[in-house]
């Protein structure tokens, strides 16, 4: 039986900080196709208020409609939901699996450079960023309270080890189902270390809001690029702690330039808008982009 024979609720969740490029088109078309007889949902992930631009939201709607996609409305807009993310964050605080961290990037860099072997020897996450060294993790609660009272800026970090331990108490087997390979993958709680889940002024992060919203929208198959596969390890732990249902995951290939480089908004890669303006037919773009799914 193919994946598409099952009715799934899938979603495409772009961030409106640039125009959609071919990689986004591929991801959206994949989500739409894998929904089968189910529902394809569009969600706008705009918690980064500094980079969010309303005209990019309109451009997303236009480009996706041009590709022939449709989705239920109203569209969920994450920047309207900070209170909801805050409630989830508070639950994690009550479970004592997050801690405030005042370390700046420079503090973290200096700390790591001062360790034997320096940056070269320090473990990194799948994106190549150094694992957070745990500064402020073990300070006394009196010091923590005093620092919070002082009013400086801080981030809420997930205590990944403690969080995984708590999650295992609720569910012995920590894993996720990778539908693209039809296999169950064990969660590695240390992959990204103690990630930031919220900031003092923004009560959420990508990891927290995506988990809250996938649950709220009853997403049964999360489809997204392979570059986000590592994040799923964090998401499964959060889902178990917050007692959300478990979706399956389909991490798809990334569309690349001929030289193997990943497409990116920042590099100004060719947008869907360009193909529209050139009179390219959506069906042709779709045929070029989305070879028939064999799974
Ligand atoms: N908003 C994310 C992005 O634009 C996608 C998140 C996801 O699919 O989980 O990269």
Structure tokens, 47: 């918690």
Give the residue, 3 or 75, on which the prediction is more confident.
75
Q: For the segment 212-256, what is each residue's pLDDT rounded down to a tens digit?
A: 999 999 999 999 999 999 999 999 999 999 999 999 999 998 887
Instruction: Quote the ligand 1 centre to 15 CA distance (angstroms).
Output: 7
pLDDT level of residue 292 (50, 70, 90 thresholds):
low
Instruction: Quote the ligand 1 centre to 220 CA distance (angstroms).
Output: 16
Establish whether residue 293 lines the binding site of ligand 1, counting it when its CB lies within 6 angstroms of any ligand atom. Answer: no
295 pLDDT above the threshold of 60 = no
C-alpha 135 chain-centroid distance: 25
291 pLDDT above the threshold of 50 = yes
Q: For the segment 118-132, what is each residue's pLDDT rounded down to a tens digit?
A: 999 999 999 999 999
Q: For the segment 145-178, what is each residue's pLDDT rounded down to a tens digit?
A: 999 999 889 999 999 999 999 999 999 999 999 9
Residue-level pLDDT at 245:
97
Q: CATH number of 1-78+256-295: 3.60.21.10, 3.40.309.10, 3.40.50.620, 3.10.450.50?
A: 3.40.50.620
Residue-level pLDDT at 282:
86
Residue-level pLDDT at 294:
41
Establish whether residue 210 lines the binding site of ligand 1, counting it when its CB lies within 6 angstroms of any ligand atom. Answer: yes
293 pLDDT above the threshold of 50 = no
Q: Whole-angstrom Cα distance, residue 108 to residue 112?
A: 6
Q: Whole-angstrom Cα distance, residue 177 to residue 206?
A: 21
Q: Whole-angstrom Cα distance, residue 96 to residue 241?
A: 11
* 12-24 mean pLDDT: 92
1 pLDDT above the threshold of 60 = no
pLDDT level of residue 88 (50, 70, 90 thresholds):
very high
HEC string for the chain: CCHHHCCCEEEECCCCCCCCEHHHHHHHHHHHHHCCCCEEEEEECCCCCCCCCHHHHHHHHHHHHHCCCCCCCCCEEHHHCHHHHHHHHHHHHHCCCEEEECCCHHHHHHHHHCCCCHHHHCCECCCCCECCCCCCCCCCHHHHHHHHHHCCCCEEEECHHHHHHHHHHHCCCCEEEECCCCEEEECCCCCCCCCEEEECCCCCCHHHHHHHHHHHCCCCEEEEEHHHCCHHHHHHHHHHHCCCCCCEEEEECCCECCCCCECCCCCCCCEHHHHHHCCCCHHHHHHHHCCCCCC
Establish whether residue 42 lines the binding site of ligand 1, counting it when its CB lies within 6 angstroms of any ligand atom. Answer: no
Most ligand 1 atoms within 8 A of CB, residue of 56, 76, 210 to mutate: 210
Contact 216, 247 (CB under 8 A): no
Q: List the chain domain ranges.
A: 1-78+256-295, 81-218+231-247
pLDDT level of residue 4 (50, 70, 90 thresholds):
low
* 37-56 mean pLDDT: 95
CATH of domain 81-218+231-247: 3.40.50.620
Nearest CA to ligand 1 atom 2: 14
Residue-level pLDDT at 271:
84
Most ligand 1 atoms within 8 A of CB, residue of 48, 209, 224, 234 to mutate: 224
265 pLDDT above the threshold of 90 = no
* 61-83 mean pLDDT: 97
263 pLDDT above the threshold of 70 = no
Longest C-alpha distance within the chain, in Å?
65
Most ligand 1 atoms within 8 A of CB, residue of 228, 232, 252 to mutate: 228
CA atoms within 13 A on the CB side of 136: 22
């Amino acid at each position: 039986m193919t994946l598409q024979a099952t009715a799934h609720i899938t979603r495409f969740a772009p961030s409106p900080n640039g125009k959609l490029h071919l990689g986004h088109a591929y991801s959206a078309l994949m989500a739409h196709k894998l929904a089968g007889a189910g529902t394809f949902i569009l969600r706008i992930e705009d918690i980064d208020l500094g980079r969010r631009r309303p005209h990019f939201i309109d451009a997303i709607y236009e480009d996706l409609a041009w590709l022939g996609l449709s989705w239920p409305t109203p569209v969920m807009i994450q920047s309207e939901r900070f209170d909801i993310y805050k409630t989830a964050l508070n639950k994690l605080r009550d479970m004592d699996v997050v801690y405030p961290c005042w370390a700046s990037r420079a503090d973290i860099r200096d700390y790591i450079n001062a360790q034997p072997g320096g940056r070269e020897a320090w473990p990194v996450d799948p994106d190549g960023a150094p694992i957070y060294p745990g500064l402020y993790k073990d300070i006394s609660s009196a010091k923590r309270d005093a620092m919070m009272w002082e009013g400086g800026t801080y981030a809420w970090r997930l205590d990944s080890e403690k969080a995984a331990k708590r999650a295992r108490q609720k569910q012995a087997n920590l894993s996720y189902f990778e539908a693209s390979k039809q296999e169950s993958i064990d969660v590695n709680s240390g992959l990204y270390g103690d990630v930031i889940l919220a900031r003092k002024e923004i009560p959420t992060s990508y990891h927290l809001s995506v988990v809250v919203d996938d649950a709220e929208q009853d997403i049964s198959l999360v489809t997204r690029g392979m570059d986000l596969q590592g994040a799923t390890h964090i998401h499964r732990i959060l889902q178990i702690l917050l007692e959300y249902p478990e979706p399956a995951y389909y991490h798809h290939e990334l569309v690349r330039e001929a030289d193997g480089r990943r497409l990116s908004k920042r590099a100004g890669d060719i947008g869907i808008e360009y193909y529209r303006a050139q009179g390219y037919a959506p069906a042709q773009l779709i045929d070029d982009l989305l070879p028939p799914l064999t799974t």
